[in-house]
């Protein structure tokens, strides 16, 4: 399994997004956190902004929707050309319906779960998704500490994906740095979102390389 590093532009400079996105062109995907001030107590970008990011980005977009009513809004992000669109299990009325619609439009479909949400009810739906995002912080803000107690969820997912021979990426998001990335990788993650630990210095490319190197020995 390859290691995928998806920097979160939540930690970038919002008035220099094009410059900051150019700095992470060695990453796999750009992680774009869409927040609506209802599902989470913070507000970021909407479709118009995501469309412009899509226009200028040298690498594809991994859109993470922290919004209510993804049933209504998620397909619009796929229509903008996002490579993947991930919405929250806690917010969706018909998660499978949304996933099918996203795939039909041509995006990969992702399902996200907050730290306190159990994964078991979703295991039977795994084949409907291209990635599962296990949140390792409460969604809403960057710069929080990695919650290690959610690792058993990744182990469960990884076991199930292998047992059924599925091709589902397992993503973690929140508090990912060179230390915690090894823990998440050992638990079964292969796709890593990192905000602060990529943009905390001018050397974003160096930070991406360090994260990749820290994860690689643990991803099989």
**Interface with Zn ion (CB under 5 A):** 33, 64, 173
- The one of ligand DX5, Zn ion, none whose footprint includes residue 70, by CB under 5 to 8 A per kind, is none
Give yes or no: 55 in active site.
Answer: no
Residue closer to Zn ion, measured from CB, 26 or 42: 42
Closest listed residue to residue 57, CA positions, set 86, 85, 17: 17
Assess contact for 30 and 57: CB atoms under 8 A: yes
How far is residue 132's CA from residue 58's CA, in Å, rounded to a whole number? Answer: 24
- Least Å distance, CB 164 to ligand DX5, is 27
Residue 173 annotated as catalytic: yes
CB of 195 to ligand DX5, least distance (A): 3
**Is 137 or 157 the residue whose CB approaches ligand DX5 more closely?**
137
Least separation in angstroms between residue 207's CB and ligand DX5 is 11
Q: Decide: 123 and 96 in contact? Cβ < 8 Å.
A: no
Name which of 91 and 220 has its Cβ closer to Zn ion. 91
Tokens of 97: 């319906």
> Which of the following is catalytic: 28, 62, 130, 173?
173
Find the shortest distance in angstroms from Cβ 124 to ligand DX5.
26
Task: Give 148's DSSP letter.
Answer: G
CA 58 to chain centre: 18
- In the chain, helix, strand, coil percent, each to 5? 40, 20, 40
Judged by the rule CB under 6 A, the positions of this chain that interact with ligand DX5 are: 8, 10-11, 31, 33, 64, 137, 139-140, 142-144, 173-176, 193-197
Interstrand relation of 30-35 and 4-7 (parallel, antiparallel or unpaired): unpaired
Catalytic residue ranges: 33, 173
């Amino acid at each position: 399994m390859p290691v995928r590093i998806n920097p979160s532009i939540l930690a970038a400079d919002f008035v220099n997004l094009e410059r900051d996105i150019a700095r992470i062109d060695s990453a796999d995907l750009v992680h774009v956190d869409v927040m609506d001030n209802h599902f989470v107590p913070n507000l970021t970008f909407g479709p118009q902004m995501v469309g412009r990011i899509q226009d200028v980005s040298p690498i594809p977009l991994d859109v993470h929707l922290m919004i209510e009513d993804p049933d209504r809004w998620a397909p619009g992000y796929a229509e903008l050309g996002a490579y993947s669109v991930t919405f929250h299990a806690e917010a969706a009325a018909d998660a499978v319906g949304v996933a099918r619609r996203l795939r039909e439009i041509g995006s990969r479909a992702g399902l996200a779960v907050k730290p306190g949400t159990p994964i078991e009810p979703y295991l039977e739906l795994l084949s409907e998704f291209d990635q599962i995002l296990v949140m390792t912080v409460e969604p809403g803000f960057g710069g929080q500490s990695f919650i290690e107690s959610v690792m058993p969820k990744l182990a469960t997912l990884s076991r199930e994906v292998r047992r059924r021979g599925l091709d589902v990426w397992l993503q973690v998001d929140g508090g990912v740095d060179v230390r915690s990335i090894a823990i998440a990788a050992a638990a079964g993650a292969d796709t890593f979102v990192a905000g602060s630990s990529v943009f905390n210095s001018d050397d974003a490319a160096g930070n991406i390389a360090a994260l990749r190197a820290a994860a690689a020995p643990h991803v099989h």
